[in-house]
Amino acid sequence: MSLRFAILGLIAEEPLHGYEVKSRFERMLGGTWEVNIGQVYTTLQRLERDGLIEASGQRGDRNKLAYRTTPAGRDAFAEWLAQPDDEPQQLREGIYLKLLLATRHGNGLLGGLLARQRAVYLQRLHDLGVLEDRATREGRADLALLLRGAILHVEADLKWVDGCLEEGRAGASADQEARE
Amino acid sequence: MRALLTKALADLRRRRLQSAVVLVIVFLASGTATLALTLMAQNSSPYDRAFQTQHGAHLIVWFDATLVTRQQAAATGSLVGASAVGGPWSQSNITYGLGTAKQSTNLLARDDPGGPVSQLRVVAGRWASGPGEIVLTRSFADAYGLRVGDTVRDVALAARPRLRVVGEVVDIDEGTAELTSQTSWVTEDAFPRLAMATGLAYQVEYRFPGTPDAAELSRAIDRLKASLPPTAVTGSLTYLTVRTVFGITNAILTNVLLAFSVFALGASAAIVVNLIAGIVLAGYREIGIMKAVGYTPAQVVAVLDLEMLAPAAAGALLGVAGGTLLSQPLLEQSAHALGLPPEVSYSPVLDLAALAAILALVAVAATLPALRAGRLHPVRAIAVGAAPAASGGLWLRRVLGGRAPRPLAFGLGEAFARPLRGTLTVLAVLLGVATVTFAVGSHASLDRSLASFTHAGRAQVQVTRQPAYPDESVTATLDAQPETARVVGIDGTTVTVSGLADPVTTFGYRGDSSSLGFFIISGRWFQGPNEAVAPRALLRDAHLAIGDTFLASNAGRSVRVRIVGETYDIRNLGHTLHVDWSTYEQLQPDPAPTTYFVTLGPGADAAAYARRVAATEPDFLDVQLTNAQTFTPVQIIDAVTLTLAVVLALIAAAGVFNTVLLTTREQARDTAILKALGMTPAQVLTMVLASAGALAGLGGLLGAPAGVAVYHVLTALLQDATGNDVPPQTLDVFTPLQLVAVPVAGLVVAMAAAALPGQWSARTSVVQVLHAE
Amino acid sequence: MGALIELDDVTRAYDTGTARAALTNLRLQIEEGDFAAVMGPSGSGKSTLLNLVAGLDRPTSGRVVVDGCEVGRMSESALARFRRRRVGFVFQFFNLLPSLTVLENILLPAQLAWSRPAAAAARARELLERLGIQEVAARYPARLSGGQQQRVAIARALINTPRVLLADEPTGALDSSAGAEVMRLLQDLHGEGQTVVLVTHDAKLATRHARRVISLLDGRLLDDTRLAVTTADPQDLVRVTGREVAG
C-alpha cells in the first residue's frame, strides 16, 4: 500500500497538514498521480489509528491540524523502505493483446501495427527526453528521476516491438525458404 | 611439432604472395652461388680427366732440326727421366686459305695417332694414310667450318698445294681454337713437301711419373739445354700453362659469379629479415594469442622460421639444381673441346653443402627478428592489438610540414618510419644498383681492353701476310693506296729470356708502334733499340723491374734489353715481350713483318679499302677490319655479367616490392581514413611511390659509388688472373651519364615495383577496411 | 527546392551468396537543414545507407544523389574530391591519425583539398574554440579522452564546411556523459544550419536531439517519423499506478 507509506514518508520529513500532504505528493510525482483530498484524509486517519502518526498542532494560516510521525511510524516507514519491490511486472494490456491477436491473424497486419506503434514510442521518447532536460534544468531532481524511469520503460517497449519485428521477418523468410 | 606445422602452413597459405617472393629470390641467389661454386670446383676436372685418358704430355719441347738429329731428340727422354716419350715428330707450319681469312696451325708429321704419349682420339673420318691427306683438330674444324672430305689449300707455300681433310681428332693439348694454336697432321712421307723452308723443328713430348710441378719441369728443361748445343731448344710448353689457358674463361667467370652470389645472398638475407620483421609487426595480436594458447617463445620463433624456410627450401632446391644444371653447358664446352664424352660433372657434396649453407643463412635471417616475437608479452600484445606505431619519420614530416603536399609528406615520412625496414630496403637497392653499375663498367672496360690489342680504335685494317708473298709487295700495295695514313708492321717469334724456362713470345714493331694504343701501366713505350715493354706476369716471373736489363736470345743471337715500361697484354696470360724493329732485327734472322695494322685517313671507307687490298693477292693476304673481331670468352663473360646484373636488379626490385607490400598493409587503416577524408587514389599512389622513391633514391645514391668501388676491386682481380696489372684506362670507364643513369634507372624500377602494391592500396574499399573492426 | 540527399530506388547487394541485400529498393529524401537519425538493428543497412551518402560506397542499382552529385556515376578520384568538400564523416571509433597532432588532424581535409593555408588555419582555430578543444590543439590523439577525440573528429569533419555532416554511431565508444555532450554539440550545429544525418542504435539519444527518425529493417524502410515539438506535460505522458491494499 504505497500511498499510505508515501504520506508517512512525507510527514516523517516534516509535520504537515492534509492539504500540504496532497500538494506535496502531487508535486513530487509531477502531476502523474492525482489523489483526492478525501483519500488523503482517510489515509491520515488510518495512520493515526495505527499509531504511526500523531497530531502536531496547528499549521499554516488556516490553522489546519498538522500531523507528525511517532517513533513507531518512523520504524514502519524505515521497514517499508528497506523492503524491495517484488510486485509482478505490469504489461500494457492494449499493445499486448493487439500483438497476440494480430499474430493469430497473420503477419500482414502485424507489421504495420508494430511500425505505427514504434512511431508512437519514438515521439514519446522525444517528449519525455525534452521534459527530463527541463526538469533537470529547473532543479526538480525527483521529477527528472521519474521521467528517466519512464524513458527506460518506453525504450524497453520499443525494444520489444523491434524484437517482434525482427522475429516476424525471420519467421517470414524461414517460411519462404521452407516453401522454396 | 604438429602444432607448429599446422600454424606455419596456414600462414603460408595466407601469405602466398610473400612466400612466392621469398621463393624467387632464394632461387635466384642460390642458383648463382651454386653455379659459381660448381664451376670453381669442377673447372679443372674435364681437363684432368682427358689428360689422364689420353696420356697427355707434361712437357713439350721443340728442338731446332738443324742442330739436333732425330736420334738425339729421341734420346732426350732418358736424360730428363721421362716415363714415356712421344715423337720426335717433324714440325713446321701450315696456313690455310679459307676464303678471305687465313688461318695457321702447327704442322706435324705423325704416322700413328696412338702411342705412349699424347694419344689423339679420332672423332671423325680416319688418320692420314699418304700424301695429299691431312688431319685437323676438331676444334679447328668446328671453328672454321671444315669437314671430313673438304679440300683446303696451303697458302704458306708458293705452290699452294691442295690437301684433303680425312679426319678430325681431339688433342689434349689443343685447347680451343681461339685461345691456343692448333695442330694439323700429315704422314711422314707427306711432310717434306709441305714443310716450310726455315724453322724446321722436332717436337718431342714427355710424360713423367706422378704429377710434376712447374719447378720440376723447369729443371727438366734446364737439363735438356745443358746437354745440347745452345739454342738447340727453340721452345717448350708445360701442361700447366695449357690447363690454365684452357680454363681461363671459366676462371674469370667464377670470380665474377662468386662476387655476384655474395651480393645476391646478402640482398636475399636482407629481404628475409625485412619480411619476418614485418610479419611480426603485423601479427602482434596473433602472436599474443599463440602464446596465450600455449606456444612457448621458442615455438613461436620456430613457426616464423618455418614460414620462411618452407618457400626458401623450395627456392633453394630449385636454385641449386638450376645452378648445377646451368654449370654443365659451361663445363661441357671444355669437355667437348677435349673430345670427352658428355659427362655430368658436378659434386653432390658441394650441392648439399650449398643447400645447407643457404638454408642456414635464411634461418639465421629469419630468427633474429623472430626473437622479438618470442619475447612479446601475450596479454599486452592481445590488448594492444597492434604494434607500437612507427615514429621514426615524424621529424621528417615536421620538417616538410605544410610546405610539401600532404601525400608527398606522408610518403617520405613513412619511408623512414621503421628504421630497420628502411635500412634493409635501401641495402637491397644499393646492392642492385652497385651490381648494375659494376656490370656497366665491366662491359666498357672489357671493350677497351680488347681494343688495346685489336687496335680497333687506332688502325682500321689488319693485313696478314703469308711467307710466300714478300713484305716489299705488301708495303708497296699499302703505300700505293691513297687512304693509307700509317702502317705498323708486326712480326713475332719466341725468345729466351734470362731467368725463364719457357721461351717468351716476342713482338717486333716496325713503324710508329706507340700509335697503336697499347695501354702503358707504368713507365713508357719503347722509343729505340734495346728497349722493351712487357706485361706484369712476365716482369714478375723474370724478376724484372722497370729499368732492369736482361739477356734476350734467339737463334744463336743475344741482345741485352732494358725494360722501360709495363704494358697491358692478356695474350699468353701476360707473357709477352714488345720491342722496336731495331731490337727485333738483332734477334731474328731475316725479320719481316707478317701482320700490318693500317690507319686510314679521315673519311676513308675501310670496307672498300679492305676489299681492294685483298683483291691484290687473294691467296696470300688476309685482310680484316679491326672492329669486326669478336672474342668468344669476352662475349661469354659479357653475357654472364649482364645476366647477373639483371638477376640482382630483380632481387632488389623484389625487396622493394615486399617492403612496400608490408608497409601498405600495415598502413591500411590509416590509408582508409585518409581516403575517407578525401585522398584520391592518385594521391594514395603518390604517397606510396614517394615512400619507395625515397628509399630507392638513397640506395641508388649510395649504390653507384659502391658499384664503382666493387668494379675497381674486381677488375684488379680479373686482370690478375690474366697476368696483368690494371691499366688506368680501364679504371676510368664511367661516364657521368652512366653514373647518374644507373641510380635513376634503379629509382624507376623501384617505383615500378612499388606501383602494384600502391595501386592495391589505392583501390581497396574504405568501407571494408574501416568497418571490419 | 530539391532534396539535399536523395535515394531513388536504391539497392546495395553484396555478392557473398546470401539472399538478402544490404539495402533493397530504398526511397528516401533528406532536405537541407534536416537532422535525421537512422536507426535499426544490426544488419538493417543503416551503415550501408550512410556509406552511400558519404560516397564511400556505390549502389548496385538506383540513384544516390547528394548535393547534386550522383554517387554511383563518379570515379574514385571524383568520389574522393566529393568526400573532401561536400560531406564530413564522423566515425564511431574516431579514426584520428595517431601520428598527427590534433590541429594537424583537423587540417588534413583542408590540405588534401589544397585550401589556402591561412584560411584553413583560421577556420581550424574557429572550430577548436567552438568545440571547446583549443587547449589540446598540440597534443596527440592518444593523450585525449574519448569525448575529446570525437570532438576533434567533428572539427575535422567540418573544416571544409560540408553540406552534410554524417555520423556513424558517434557516441558508441563514449560514456554516457561524453556521449550526451557530443549529441548536444550536434544539435547545436544543427541549430546553426548544419544538415546532420546520424546513425545510431540508441533510441533515446536519437529521439532526444534529432528531428526525424528513419527506421530501417532488413535493408528496407520500416518507418520515417518526423518528431513533433512537444508541448506535453509529464502528466500527459506518465501515469504512476499502484494497487490499493486495504489497511
Q: What is the pLDDT of residues C180-224, one digit of tens each?
A: 899 999 999 999 999 999 999 888 888 988 999 999 988 889 889
Confidence (pLDDT) at C245: 44
Angle at B698 between CA B694 and CA B704, to 5 degrees: 140
Interface with chain C: mutation pick from B677, B687, B761, B765, highest number of C CBs within 10 Å:
B677
Angstrom distance (rounded) from CA B772 to CA B90: 91
Same domain, B533 and B643: no
- Is residue B254 included in any domain, yes or no? no
Mean pLDDT of C146-173: 94
pTM of the model: 0.74
Q: Which residue has the higher pLDDT, A167 or C136?
A: C136
Q: In what order do the strands lie in the sheet with C220-226?
A: C87-90, C164-168, C195-199, C35-39, C212-217, C220-226
Q: What is the 3-state secondary structure of B378-422?
A: HHHHHHHCCCCCCCCCHHHHHHHCCCCCHHHHHHHHHHCCCHHHH
A68 touches chain C (CB under 8 A): no
What is the residue range of C89's domain? Answer: 33-58+81-228
Confidence bin at B553 (pLDDT 50/70/90): confident
Q: Which of B246, B280, B299 is the last residue of a domain?
A: B246
A148 touches chain C (CB under 8 A): no
- Distance between the two ends of chain A, CA-based, in angstroms? 58
Task: With beta carbons under 8 A apart, name residues in chain B contacting C115.
Answer: none
Under an 8 A CB cutoff, do C112 and B679 touch?
A: yes
B130-143: per-residue pLDDT in tens?
Answer: 899 999 988 788 87
Range with the poorest average pLDDT among B333-342, B732-741, C168-177: B333-342
β-pairing verdict for A64-69 and B133-137: unpaired
Mean pLDDT of B553-561: 84
- Is residue C65 included in any domain, yes or no? no
Task: With beta carbons under 8 A apart, name residues in chain C contacting A143.
Answer: 234
| Mean pLDDT for all residues in chain B | 83
Under an 8 A CB cutoff, do C112 and B389 touch?
A: no
Does the pLDDT value for residue A157 go beyond 60? yes
Under an 8 A CB cutoff, do A130 and C208 touch?
A: yes
Cβ-Cβ pairs closer than 8 A, A with C, add up to 98
C235 touches chain A (CB under 8 A): yes
Q: In 3-state terms, what secondary structure has residue B232?
A: coil
- Is residue B671 included in any domain, yes or no? yes
CA distance C157 to chain A (A): 27
Same domain, B301 and B332: yes
Q: Which residues contact A171 (CB under 8 A, 6 or more apart)?
A: A107
Under an 8 A CB cutoff, do C234 and A125 touch?
A: no
Same domain, B609 and B665: no
Q: In 3-state terms, what secondary structure has residue B719?
A: helix
Task: With beta carbons under 8 A apart, name residues in chain C contacting A87.
Answer: 243
CA distance C245 to chain B (A): 55
The number of domains in chain C is 1
Burial of B35 (0-12, 13-18, 19+ CB in 10 A): buried
Given 3-state DSSP classes, what are the helix, strand and coil percentages for chain A, each rounded to the nearest 5? Answer: 75, 10, 20
Q: Which residue has the higher pLDDT, B391 or B666?
A: B666
Range with the poorest average pLDDT among A70-74, A123-127, B650-654, C120-124: B650-654
Q: Which of B628, B652, B682 is the last residue of a domain?
A: B628
Confidence bin at B424 (pLDDT 50/70/90): confident
Angstrom distance (rounded) from CA B329 to CA C176: 78
Does the pLDDT value for residue C66 go beyond 70? yes
Q: In 3-state terms, what secondary structure has residue B251?
A: helix
Q: Which of B4-8, B102-106, B143-147 has the highest mean pLDDT?
A: B143-147
Q: Residue B333 CB: number of other CB atoms within 10 A?
A: 16
- Is residue C21 included in any domain, yes or no? no
Q: Residue B7: what residue type?
A: K
Under an 8 A CB cutoff, do B683 and C80 touch?
A: yes
Angstrom distance (rounded) from CA A137 to CA B324: 88
Angle between helix B681-721 and B668-677 (nearest 10): 140
Q: Are B613 and B597 in contact (CB under 8 A)?
A: no
Confidence bin at B596 (pLDDT 50/70/90): very high
Same domain, B272 and B304: yes
A168 touches chain C (CB under 8 A): no
Q: Are B146 and B215 in contact (CB under 8 A)?
A: no
Confidence (pLDDT) at B402: 56
- Is residue B463 included in any domain, yes or no? yes
Confidence (pLDDT) at B135: 93
Confidence bin at C246 (pLDDT 50/70/90): very low
Task: With beta carbons under 8 A apart, name residues in chain C contacting B677.
Answer: 83-84, 89, 108-109, 112, 156
CATH number for position C162: 3.40.50.300
Q: Residue B399: what residue type?
A: V
Q: Which helix (H) or strand (E) holds C124?
A: helix C117-130
Angle between helix B419-454 and B736-763 (nearest 10): 140
pLDDT above 90: percentage of residues in chain B: 17
- Is residue C247 included in any domain, yes or no? no
Angstrom distance (rounded) from CA B108 to CA B191: 8
DSSP structure class, residue B97: E
Q: Which of B332, B359, B388 is the last residue of a domain?
A: B388
B768 touches chain C (CB under 8 A): no
| Closest CA in chain B for residue C100 | B394
| Closest CA in chain C for residue A6 | C242
Task: With beta carbons under 8 A apart, name residues in chain A contacting C208.
Answer: 125-126, 129-130, 133
**All three cell numbers of C7:** 535515394
C238 touches chain A (CB under 8 A): yes
Cβ-Cβ pairs closer than 8 A, B with C, add up to 69
CA neighbor of B522 nearest in space, from B718, B725, B714: B725
Q: In 3-state terms, what secondary structure has residue B105?
A: strand
Confidence bin at B773 (pLDDT 50/70/90): very low
Under an 8 A CB cutoff, do B770 and C81 touch?
A: no
Task: With beta carbons under 8 A apart, name residues in chain B contacting C91.
Answer: 676, 770
B590 touches chain C (CB under 8 A): no
The number of domains in chain B is 4
Confidence bin at C76 (pLDDT 50/70/90): confident
The DSSP result for B314-339, as a single string, is HHHHHHHHHHHHHHHHHHHHHHHHTT
Confidence (pLDDT) at B755: 93
Q: What is the dihedral of CA C88, C92, C94, C95, to 10 degrees?
A: -90
A87 touches chain C (CB under 8 A): yes
Q: C123 — alpha (psi -120 to 50), left (phi > 0) or beta? A: alpha
B404 touches chain C (CB under 8 A): no
What CATH architecture applies to the domain A2-82? Orthogonal Bundle (1.10)
| Closest CA in chain B for residue C97 | B670
Same domain, B611 and B652: no
Confidence (pLDDT) at A60: 67
Query: Which residues 670-689 of B are in CB contact (within 8 Å) with C?
Result: 670, 673-683
- Residue among B677, B680, B773 whose CB faces C76 most closely: B680
What is the residue range of B307's domain? Answer: 1-43+265-388
- Is residue C102 included in any domain, yes or no? yes
Q: What is the dihedral of CA B552, B555, B557, B559, to 10 degrees?
A: -20
- Is residue B81 included in any domain, yes or no? yes
B373-390: per-residue pLDDT in tens?
Answer: 777 776 666 665 555 555
| Closest CA in chain C for residue A33 | C240
Confidence bin at B344 (pLDDT 50/70/90): low
The DSSP result for B479-539, as a single string, is HHSTTEEEEEEEEEEEEEETT-SS-EEEEEEES-GGGG-PPEEEE----STTEEEE-HHHH
**Chain C residues near any Cβ of chain B (below 8 Å):** 47, 51, 54, 56-57, 76-77, 80-85, 89, 91, 93, 95-99, 108-109, 111-114, 117, 156
| Closest CA in chain A for residue C43 | A166
- Is residue B259 included in any domain, yes or no? no
Same domain, B203 and B272: no
Same domain, B544 and B581: yes
Task: With beta carbons under 8 A apart, name residues in chain C contacting A124.
Answer: 237
Does the pLDDT value for residue B42 go beyond 80? no
Task: Give the residue extent of every domain in chain A.
Answer: 2-82, 93-179
Confidence (pLDDT) at C247: 38
